[in-house]
Structure 1
Amino acid sequence: MKKWLVTLFALVMITSVVAGCSGNNGAASKGNTGETGSSGNSKKTEITFWGDWGGEGQKQFETMVDAFNKSQDKIHVKYVLQQDMITKFLTSATNGGAPDVLFWDRWRTSLYAPKNVLHPVDEYLTRDNISKEDFYSESLTELSYDDKLYGLPLTVDARALFYNKKLLADAGLQPPTTWDELEVAATKMTKWNGNKLETAGFSLGDLGLFNMYLQQAGGQMLTEDGKTNFNNEQGKQVLEFWDRLMNKDKVYKVGFESGLGEGQDAFVTGKVAMLYSGPWMLSTYNKYGKDLDYGIVPPPVGPNGDKGSVMGGFGLVIPEGSKHQDEAWEFIKWWTANKDNALLWAKTSLNMPGFKPALEDPFFKDDPQWQPFMETLEFAKIRPAHPGYSVMETDALAPNLQLNQQNKLSIEDTLKKSQEQGDKMLKDNEVMK
């Protein structure tokens, strides 16, 4: 979601390959049904791994699959690229064609675990003495529902503040650590030529970051009983901050980045001096920003010193309909709960692995670009695990925030309407059918 890979994937159109399971020689797996591996060795159980990463992402997955297949002689994993993967997965869950391992955007867990289409892995962790302490607790929470864990984290990510070193130095400033410092820096780095904005001091183009700002203001998106929790002083502080940046300091204007033209990255070209982004952009900026000298710091704190960022990332899960759940677990465990293999994944994909011991490696510890993200992950929070949260954020909050940013809706009305519409959507979607 939102990763540098998405840009690359959009350039590659790959025909989906649908694979089914057949054969009759499974060992220690549900259904006792097996398949031969590509080598023709009938002793191997073949399992399918579904994902929706094509292009470079597919090559990265296949690197891990090949490494696993070569590491032992009992299981053979086959990666199957799937377009519209979730729809196909839900269909397969009812017709007996489910994959054995699924690449999983973790936030989906609260949506689909109630449908009983995912297999809990708690017993596997206990049996194999895998410590939950080796993973970020927030990422495990995002993979859980009703006190059951449904997979292990494959990647973790969080937003941090990217800044243009030259523009900041020219302004005579240090990287901002507070909202006030961010406002000062953004104002000084903004350049207008008459009515034309030439350099935006700070990007305000991503309204989906409201959650992060709300945390920095000391708030949270939902109450414990599942209602919206932003029509309050904390929500007002966020929108007042945005209003100052947009309308008083004029560090940004609506649509600025999209108006630069297709293929133009505003940060790479120096048109945006600061923005919030994630580790998925490191490879892109390093590759295409040859003249870009940039730094990264954790997100500045809010008015009362509160920290905030949103943790995202992916996991690997086992469908309830898998015929080879034990073998699927062996693959997931090998990839996500082993330091060497998690590190291989990190170096292959340039993603931050979900297995914390791998982050102690010099690959991460000795590279200053990774440090701000590692610091941020210590306090980053996942999105609320409510079945209706994504609908509320997308269909109730975001449209009203957009109207507010366009000066078509007051701060008070923005929060009030978002609350009214959001609470209704949360209630209507509190139980997934």
Structure 2
Amino acid sequence: MQRRQERQGRRTGTIAVGSALGMTAVLAGCGLTGDSGDVTLRLVAADYGDSTANSSQKYWDQLVKEYENTHSGVQVEVSVYSWNDVDRKVKELVDAGKAPDMAQIGAYADYADAGLLYQADDLLSIRTQADFAAQFATAGQVKDVQYGMPFAASTRLLFYNKTLFKDAGLTAPKTWAQLAADAAALKERGVKYPYALPLGPEEAQAETMQWVLSGGGGYTDSFGTYALDSAENVDTFTWLKDDLVDKGLTGPVAPGKLNRAAAFSAFASGDVGMLNGHPSLMKIAEKKGVKFGMVPMPGVSGQTKYSMGVADWMTAFKQGGHAEQVGDFLDFVYSEKNVLAFSREYDLLPVTNSASEVMATADQDTDLKPFLQELPQSELYPVGKTSWSTVSAAVKKDIGKAVAPGANPSTVLSRLESTAAKEDNKQ
């Protein structure tokens, strides 16, 4: 802490910021390399916006403008890429021996296992580290050492179309049986997707995790070992197949072919009775005038105790050797004000306790509070496993087959478990 206070006291001045959206040439004219003692940090970040108007580049530009008022000797280039490209771009840079100083991406364990990342202890002040919500700090660990710094979070709730439910005389379900009964009633009234079950390759791992948690299972057991074919998971997918899919309650598109984006779009068009959604679905539906409600995910005998949580990660690569400067910048990034600003702009949940406490009582955050309430009991993907990226890809590719006509869910889940165990044994 003393080291950080000393270096902060030495700094006032400016930072130049570049982006993947065309700022490089401008920086070249402003003296990008700076004086002999200057340091240039390079950050690759993901874009959370859905248009140019709210691109994450604007967030980073504003953040750095504020940072430059009290710091000197450091320059920061920010390159923003879509989620379709950012992980691939970082991998290309790392493979080419040009790792960025920082990368805000979807996973970190492979890089940590290869010894390429700084530990959080090497970078952040004690105050910043202590402010991370406990489940995210733990999820950012590989072999009990934190390398992944949580950057943004989200949970899932069951969205339902209030108009469709009112017309059918229904109430929001609390159990699987009620969900199936509601879906059947909606089908009778001609609703296209009584329950939208997106098990297509876009984000099948999320829908899968939400359902297995609601059935008392998960991707791993209490010891952290993969358990995709557990009795609970088999029971969950058997119920999905028998009670929803085979009864025609999931719509005209096979779940294995239905992607999340298409399901969200159908909900916004008024064609979906129920589906699992994250906060961004609120704006999508509101823009189309759809009246919706949100409740915790139904479970076997009542509302699910554990919700699915998702976190994206900030990482810092050792290659550039600028631990002190990177740590100083990230302490600023994780200040309460900046975490709140980002979360509010993109309808995401804070990863720090201080920002979460503010959001829990602020009137402007009313829409996000139902998701925030789920956060303490949320469970995240097993991102600390270096095998997770392979396992996740396998789930995206094959889990839809578990509910296909004539399929045996147990067989599909056993095959996925074999893949997971094989990958885990490589470590």
- TM interval, shorter chain, is 0.7 to 0.9
Aligned residue in 2 for 1:202: 195
Q: Bigger CA drift: 385-394 or 85-94?
A: 85-94
Counterpart residue type for residue 171 of structure 1 = A
Alpha-carbon distance in 2 for matches of 1:317, 1:258: 32
Contact 1:178 1:303 in 2 (8 A): yes
Give, in angstroms, the shift of residue 238 of structure 1. 0.8
Contact 2:173 2:182 in 1 (8 A): yes
Alpha-carbon distance in 1 for matches of 2:319, 2:411: 47
**1:338-387: per-residue Cα shift (whole Å, max 9, x none)?**
21221222233333221222123358743432122112211111112322
1:176 paired residue among 145, 158, 173:
173
Give, in angstroms, the shift of residue 124 of structure 1. 4.2
Give, in angstroms, the shift of residue 237 of structure 1. 2.1
Secondary structure in 1 matching 2:158: strand
1:360 paired residue among 357, 361, 367:
357
Alpha-carbon distance in 2 for matches of 1:49, 1:80: 6
Q: Does 1:348 align with 2:345?
A: yes
Distance 1:250 1:273, change over 3 A: closer
Q: How does 1:36-115 map to 2 (within 5 A)?
A: 45-53=39-47, 55=52, 56-81=55-80, 84-86=85-87, 89-90=90-91, 92-93=93-94, 97-105=98-106, 108-115=107-114
Distance 1:346 1:418, change over 3 A: closer
Distance 1:70 1:273, change over 3 A: farther
Alpha-carbon distance in 1 for matches of 2:262, 2:305: 34
Contact 2:194 2:251 in 1 (8 A): yes
Q: How does 1:193-342 map to 2 (within 5 A)?
A: 198-206=191-199, 207-208=204-205, 209-223=207-221, 227-243=225-241, 244-248=243-247, 250-255=249-254, 265-286=265-286, 288-289=287-288, 291-303=289-301, 306-336=304-334, 338-342=335-339
Give, in angstroms, the shift of residue 37 of structure 1. 6.7
Alpha-carbon distance in 2 for matches of 1:412, 1:82: 39
Counterpart residue type for residue 51 of structure 1 = A
Counterpart residue type for residue 407 of structure 2 = L
Give, in angstroms, the shift of residue 226 of structure 1. 6.1
Q: Does 1:129 align with 2:123?
A: no
Give, in angstroms, the shift of residue 115 of structure 1. 0.6
Alpha-carbon distance in 2 for matches of 1:263, 1:129: 42
Counterpart residue type for residue 98 of structure 1 = A
Q: Does 1:185 align with 2:157?
A: no
Distance 1:52 1:245, change over 3 A: same
Contact 2:153 2:350 in 1 (8 A): yes
Q: Does 1:145 align with 2:146?
A: no
What value does the CA root-mean-square deviation take over the aligned residues? 3.5
Give, in angstroms, the shift of residue 88 of structure 1. 5.0
Aligned residue in 2 for 1:33: none
Distance 1:52 1:309, change over 3 A: same
Alpha-carbon distance in 2 for matches of 1:308, 1:318: 31
Secondary structure in 1 matching 2:219: coil
Aligned residue in 2 for 1:31: none
Q: Structure 1: any 5+ residue segments left out of the alignment?
A: 1-13, 23-35
Distance 1:192 1:254, change over 3 A: farther
Give, in angstroms, the shift of residue 306 of structure 1. 4.5
Q: Structure 2: any 5+ residue segments left out of the alignment?
A: 1-19
Distance 1:421 1:347, change over 3 A: closer
Alpha-carbon distance in 2 for matches of 1:113, 1:153: 14
Alpha-carbon distance in 2 for matches of 1:91, 1:249: 44
Secondary structure in 2 matching 1:341: helix
1:165 paired residue among 162, 167, 183:
162
Aligned residue in 1 for 2:412: 414
Contact 1:52 1:85 in 2 (8 A): yes
Give, in angstroms, the shift of residue 272 of structure 1. 0.5
TM norm structure 2: 0.79
Give, in angstroms, the shift of residue 276 of structure 1. 0.6
Distance 1:41 1:175, change over 3 A: farther
Counterpart residue type for residue 185 of structure 1 = D
Distance 1:41 1:353, change over 3 A: farther
Contact 1:37 1:75 in 2 (8 A): no
User: How many residues were matched structurally?
Assistant: 389
Alpha-carbon distance in 2 for matches of 1:192, 1:425: 46
Distance 1:77 1:239, change over 3 A: same
Q: Does 1:370 align with 2:368?
A: yes
Give, in angstroms, the shift of residue 122 of structure 1. 1.4
